[in-house]
Structure 1
Amino acid sequence: MTFTPAASFTTRPTLLGTFGMSASTHWTATATAQSVLERGGNAFDAAVAAAFVLHVVEPHLNGPGGDLVALVRPAGQAEPVVLMGQGPAPARATIEHFRGRGLDLVPGAGGLAAAVPGAVDAWLLLLRDHGTWELGDVLAYATGYARDGHPLVAGAAATISRVADLFRDHWPTSAERWMPEGTPPAVDTLVRNPAYADVLDGLSAAGAGVGPARGTHAQADHVQHGEAEADHAQRGKAEADLAQRDDAQADHPSRDRATRDDRAARIDAAREHWMTAVLPEAAAFIAQPHRHADGADHPGILAAEDLAAWRASFEPAVSTSFRGWDVFKAGTWTQGPALLHTLRLIEDSDDLDPSSVEGAHLLLEAQKLSYADRDAWFGDAGGAVDLDALLADAYVASRRALIGPEASTQWHPGSPEGRDPVLPPLRTDHASTDGSTGEPTVDRSGQTRGDTCHLDVIDRWGNVVSATPSGGWLQSSPTVPSLGFCLGTRLQATWLAPGHPASLTPGRRPRTTLTPTLVSRRDEVIAIGSPGGDQQDQWQLTVLLRMLVGGYSAQQAIDAPNLNITALIDSFWPRTWVPAGVAVEDRIGDEVIAALEQRGHRVRRAGDWALGRVTAVGRGADGVLWAAANPRGAQGYAAGR
């Protein structure tokens, strides 16, 4: 099997080292994670600190009112677990309620589409069970950037500009938060969010009275967070404390049981404060009617009772094997198993090179089948496919036989368990080849789409995490002025029709697009993920194939030209699909593009550097750690040593 040779030049090197590696979609979050590793924290401390920073520096891509899926593998464990930070639909979120308001889809913007926010509670759960730092230390980075300011990235500035009229005319609290001078801020404007800084301080204070508090790392590094200089004795004591922790990390957790219990109780107190004091304030705010993506005003229906009844959790990952590697994903309440299904469909094929005509065609056609099954069978509302049936040899063979030399224009789900699929309504977009790109798009009518962040961390002890936080975008719903953030709109991924696995159902999770990946083979491990809505796993697929089959380094694989189908049912409002739609980066070459068009693919040229924002970290068979990050958009970075 021959792959197109990897380019000798890459946009940045694949980082190599033995201490620790971090990668994310924003350089400040990556720097934060690496700072935590340098100060003795483990991968989970680092990931949580970076995640709260992402709330501040990528507000158009995620927020505290959003959600989270992560794969977590503590050192010494053979398999990861899923950190489940996807909250369910509220008790009043019934199909009848939405239909009664004249809706046939859940709107893509506005508080009516809010599920229970899950991200913050999930991050705190990860810190409690697998981290080692105190909560105040972890939150100090995000608190500092929220209070002291950070330069606004180009994507956030562009998003605010696109929703400026919506904010001025209908969401005045969002206009006050994001356009305090009355106009959209320019790129690199120093932006502050003191309200959110106060919320973070409140989380730290919530557990302050629980047990004897340990000396904080924030005290040891107070200058970074704008505090007064401590005396040398205090600094020396803190640094010695860090060194002692560093020596004990391999036996994590490194405290006696009583101290660990006190720390856990402090974090639990913060979780309780978040779910029963902070978020109910947001729910009460969106209960007032406000403009939604359908052009009408609706009140939100999320209630304090919904928040009090839910907490984040861990659950088993699902997996399949691919050419000697174990590939782990979250379950069918996410789109993750579609990647497993695709890998099973293509495993025995001779040409898996995404840059060849045959390889590209195969990947596109296989993914049409995988995502048709996703759209018919994945969900949390009952009737979802059994994963063993989806990945069974006979079913995989029957699906593989449907792949022909021409591009299919059909939406073709199968019947892995012998049942007829419950078909969601197909809103065919024949006029456009754009389809869903997963990138932020907003129009003046109030239609808003957000995107996603990603982060990966691995430390020298072997702890590794791959996490994809999203939702609660600044353009999701009106900003809660006292909190500095808004609620998310994940319910737009549900159907207002009964009997489908992704039907809107109170207490059930909406099927999420968030889909981090962990891949392992003996001592080797890869933590990988990408923003991009429906395209997240598609963009990961090409990178993984180039690494696992083509022999590319991680950075070579991330830099290589990408492509994806748009011939799937968009997970976001207004839920259209583009028959035979494909998006490709021009760098894949005119010859390949022309050949795909000749086979019937409706190709949209996306530009040279437009598809995929993959980041990854890992450990090789020799024990060397590595990291790589996407150059597209000039925002993602890796760091490590």
Structure 2
Amino acid sequence: MPDVTPQPFTTRPELVGTVGMVASTHWLASQSGMALLEAGGNAFDAAVAAGLVLHVVEPHLNGLGGDVPVIGCTAGSGEPFVLSGQGTAPALATPEAFEDLGVDLIPGTGLLPAVVPGAFGTWMDLLARYGTKHVRDVLAPAIGYALDGHPLLPQAAATIARVADLFTEHWPTSSAVYLPDGHAPAPTERFRNVALGRTLERLAAAADAAGPDREAGIEAARAAFYEGFVAEEVDRFVRTTSVMDATGRPHAGLLRYDDLAGWRVREERAATAELAGRTIAKTGPWGQGPALLQQLTVLAGMDLADTRPGSAELVHTVVESAKLAYADRDAWYGDPDHTDVPLATLLSGPYADARRRLIGSDASDELRPGSPDGREPRLPARVLAEVERSRAAAGDTGPAPRRRTAGTGEPTFALGEDAPSSGATGPGTDPAVAGDGLTRGDTCHLDVVDRYGNVVSVTPSGGWLQSSPVVPALGFALPTRAQMFWVERGLPSSITPGARPRTTLSPTLVLRDGVAELACGTPGGDQQDQWQLPFLLRHLVYGMGIQEAIDAPTWHTTHLVSSFDPRDIELRGLHAEERLGPDVLAELRRRGHAVTVTGPWSLGRLSAVGTRPDGMLRGAATPRGIQAYAVGR
């Protein structure tokens, strides 16, 4: 009899091999990382090389001046580590400084929201602690693509075209790089960023000049960035330049040389939770990763075996648990060096039990942060006013209002990571370009596993070409993460000199019996953990392969405080790929969700790598956006 067992649906094969696997949001980065593995490097060497290439080939999604949270595990250690590659607020960034400028909401663009760029220092730290290669080895691919050129992604070309007027009228240093010959480059055109290439070459040369000692070379490159020519150029540009930003007015920045010179990467323990016999590891509450862990602790007390992947019951339950977790994120998370985050209680079983009892059969229209240890939660006054305004606009019963965009009176330009397009229609649709024509930033992601069992997951972001003007002597833009702080005082995420903004960047590591089994992640701002959670459920609970779990239709809620300027909210908002099916979507509406149906391949850009129980390596990447690839052998 022929085998009639239904075969899983995948758009691509799940890769299986023994030498190594690299998966990222761009094929050139994936192959560059694989080249390091082929040359005898380990997973950490490969991640650094791939990440630096992402800075060059996805400039609308990240940059050398951005930020890089890392979570990894060395072979046999059983203990995941986190590198906090998030730059801190400048010493001058006080509430008074913004109030004196008449700014009550930190803009998402320009120089005013710039924080210390953490990416390069984090790559060097990862290389020094866990890698084996020299600086020039890992910088060479990125230098080549910057100086010799790369095929400009259609999404990057579209982003540049949408901000061309802004560049021409207000940001001439960006115009010089991204509008060669005075016009936006065409999709797949050979594109060079010579200034960036020269910066990378100078960093490599600084390492070479330190001599043959690998660690001395790494330190020399780091010092050249944070205490040498890069820091000097950043200080000069930010101190002497005022540019138009999302307030509709020009401002100079607050970042200074001393902010860069005093910054160092932090290695920390991961926050963890349990699911299906695995340990899920995330960053601390300076990122949003613990929100996924909070959801897991709530869902672990439910009988998920009674639900089906993609069923209305599962989607509803996951969305309602997300609302609770993100309400806690918005009320409690921040840099634990500067605020008391009750993370142990938020991740505890008794707290999850209490939160689980709040989930009903209908969609909640409330923001319900909890009271860990009996403490009263506090949300920003602006958020509470927005909730009341949203309820009034919806008549408290009608469809949730659409998200607003900043009304600056200036040409609309990117505000940072934001919701993907609701007009996307296929796997090739750019999640960073909305159906309404607005340009929005996003993020990158990469995962690597090597033959030895070293695993690392990284989510590079920030320094978007459309969010801050190019520092002319360096060829890259600065990170605008200060937009994630509040000017209002007394909040866990109030603007504080030296504090890390509470970001959305959220790589994931999965361990089984103390062995790293899987690394995964996705771009997507507030949606990152919301897209990862269904993937983890499909793979760990329902038994799907990682490519099948990535390809399955997904969803997210917008019933949360946006982490990005203009910090809006969409009560009961639920965005779902149409492949969930009309019956499921109708049932979700019946339960009170304000459903926005998106294109069939519009949400998430997940990638994943890991090790099977038999020791074979595996890798997978999403078809959404038609640029992510997994490679390996």
CA distance in 2, matches of 1:607, 1:639: 27
My pick for the range that moved more, 324-333 or 519-528, is 519-528
The corresponding residue for 1:330 is 283
Contact persistence 2:238–2:256 (CA under 8 A): no
Question: Aligned AA for 2:195?
Answer: A
How much does 1:442 deviate?
8.4
The corresponding residue for 2:226 is 275
Question: Aligned AA for 1:339?
Answer: L
SS in 2 for 1:470: coil
Q: Does 1:454 align with 2:445?
A: yes
My pick for the range that moved more, 581-590 or 386-395, is 386-395
Contact persistence 2:80–2:281 (CA under 8 A): yes
Structure 1 residues 27 and 185: CA distance shift in structure 2, 3 A = same
CA distance in 2, matches of 1:157, 1:384: 43
CA distance in 1, matches of 2:629, 2:152: 16
Contact persistence 2:508–2:521 (CA under 8 A): yes
Question: Aligned AA for 1:409?
Answer: D
CA distance in 2, matches of 1:441, 1:99: 33
The corresponding residue for 2:322 is 367
Question: Aligned AA for 2:245?
Answer: H
Contact persistence 2:231–2:261 (CA under 8 A): no
The corresponding residue for 2:545 is 553
1:284 to 232, 236, 251: 236
CA distance in 2, matches of 1:146, 1:299: 28
How much does 1:37 deviate?
0.6
Contact persistence 1:516–1:529 (CA under 8 A): yes
How much does 1:449 deviate?
3.9
Contact persistence 1:317–1:328 (CA under 8 A): yes
Q: Does 1:412 align with 2:368?
A: yes
The corresponding residue for 2:260 is 307
Q: Does 1:529 align with 2:481?
A: no
SS in 2 for 1:527: strand
How much does 1:416 deviate?
1.0
Structure 1 residues 433 and 587: CA distance shift in structure 2, 3 A = farther
Contact persistence 1:166–1:444 (CA under 8 A): no
Q: Does 1:70 align with 2:70?
A: yes
Q: Does 1:387 align with 2:343?
A: yes
The corresponding residue for 1:470 is 461
1:195-235 deviations in Å (ceiling 9; x for gaps): 11111111111122323x3xxxxxxxxxxxxxxxxxxxxxx
Contact persistence 1:520–1:526 (CA under 8 A): yes
The corresponding residue for 1:200 is 200
Question: Aligned AA for 2:316?
Answer: H
My pick for the range that moved more, 177-186 or 628-637, is 177-186
My pick for the range that moved more, 479-488 or 526-535, is 479-488
The corresponding residue for 2:332 is 377
My pick for the range that moved more, 177-186 or 277-286, is 277-286
SS in 1 for 2:10: coil
Structure 1 residues 7 and 611: CA distance shift in structure 2, 3 A = farther
How much does 1:524 deviate?
5.5
CA distance in 1, matches of 2:209, 2:544: 52
Q: What's the TM-score once normalised by structure 2's chain length? A: 0.90
Q: Does 1:319 align with 2:272?
A: yes
RMSD over aligned CA atoms reads 1.8
Alignment of 1:233-632 (within 5 A): 262-276=213-227, 277-287=229-239, 288-351=241-304, 353-380=308-335, 382-424=338-380, 425-426=382-383, 427-428=386-387, 432-433=401-402, 436-437=418-419, 439-440=431-432, 449-522=440-513, 523=515, 525-632=517-624
SS in 2 for 1:538: helix
SS in 1 for 2:559: coil
Structure 1 residues 66 and 551: CA distance shift in structure 2, 3 A = same
CA distance in 2, matches of 1:176, 1:443: 28
Contact persistence 2:11–2:551 (CA under 8 A): yes
Q: State the identity as a percent.
A: 52
Question: Aligned AA for 2:559?
Answer: A
Contact persistence 1:121–1:271 (CA under 8 A): yes
SS in 2 for 1:576: coil
Question: Aligned AA for 1:521?
Answer: R
Q: Which runs of 5+ in 1 are unaligned?
A: 214-261
Structure 1 residues 373 and 354: CA distance shift in structure 2, 3 A = farther
How much does 1:354 deviate?
4.4
My pick for the range that moved more, 499-508 or 435-444, is 435-444
How much does 1:383 deviate?
3.6
SS in 1 for 2:126: helix
SS in 2 for 1:365: helix
How much does 1:178 deviate?
0.4
How much does 1:480 deviate?
1.4
The corresponding residue for 2:413 is none
How many residue pairs get matched? 587
How much does 1:606 deviate?
1.1
Question: Aligned AA for 2:329?
Answer: R
Structure 1 residues 444 and 203: CA distance shift in structure 2, 3 A = farther
CA distance in 1, matches of 2:182, 2:340: 48
SS in 2 for 1:67: coil
CA distance in 1, matches of 2:529, 2:6: 21
CA distance in 2, matches of 1:524, 1:59: 31
Contact persistence 1:115–1:489 (CA under 8 A): yes
The corresponding residue for 1:181 is 181
CA distance in 1, matches of 2:40, 2:264: 29
CA distance in 2, matches of 1:621, 1:444: 46
Contact persistence 2:403–2:569 (CA under 8 A): no
